[in-house]
Amino acid sequence: MTLIVLAIVAAALLIGAAWGIFAPLSEETEGFVIAVAGGALIVSIMSELVEPASHHLTFLSLAAALVFGASLFVLLDRFVKRKIGAQSGGGLLVSVTLDGIPENLALGVALIGAGPKEVAALAGSIFLSNLPEAAGGAKGMQADGSSKPTVLAIWAGTAVLLTAAALIGNLMLAGVSEAALAAVRVTAAGVVAASLATEIFPKAYNEDSMSAGIAVALGLAAAHGLSQLGG
């Protein structure tokens, strides 16, 4: 079951990147899909990262981890935009990577002993959020001048990195204390929150302002449904 989830982690990024390069959506449709993913991530932050971690961290520790994760994303996102352009897909690539590394470390541990329903819920949430982000990021990177093979190679490398993070979590972090894992999860939540504020929702609104709010609500409903499946 762990291998199934890891395959979906990689597939979502690769399919999304290919989708963004070879069959790009209209701006309105892309904005709608990204907003759906953003809505799903709101649920993921609270139900999969913050709420479970709150049982093992003090409020101050939890808040510090959230702010640290958000600050880390903002700083690296700013660095990437300065280096490769503010209009590129680099911001979404940073979002997926920074969110994915700590989240997949925790995911690997969470999958130890998980049943089929929990695996289905986790895999569905990952696919729902990563697919449109990869599509939008790959499309933006190509528009910024990167070749199709280069863009695909970057996203393939990202897929390998995140899969490796999940494997490390599954194989090497099983004995780590609950408090340490909780800190990893909340740091990931801070990264996601910052990426939503600076990348996901602004992009969705700019491309599909009329329907972005509806799309976010659909994402919330879809992610909640997946979490109920997992329960």
pLDDT digits (tens, 9 = 90+) for 78-96: 877 776 555 556 666 776 7
Of the candidates 174, 170, 183, which has an alpha carbon nearest to the alpha carbon of residue 52?
183
Name the nearest CA neighbour of 2 among 100, 118, 99.
118
| Dist. CA 95–CA 64, nearest whole Å | 20
Kindly indicate the confidence band of residue 106, based on its pLDDT and cuts at 50, 70 and 90: low
pLDDT for 10-38, tens place per residue? 888 899 889 888 887 788 888 888 888 88
What are the tens digits of pLDDT across the range 213-223? 999 999 889 88
More confident residue, 132 or 62: 62
Q: In the structure, what pLDDT confidence band is assigned to residue 59 with cuts at 50, 70 and 90?
A: very high
pTM score, two decimals? 0.77
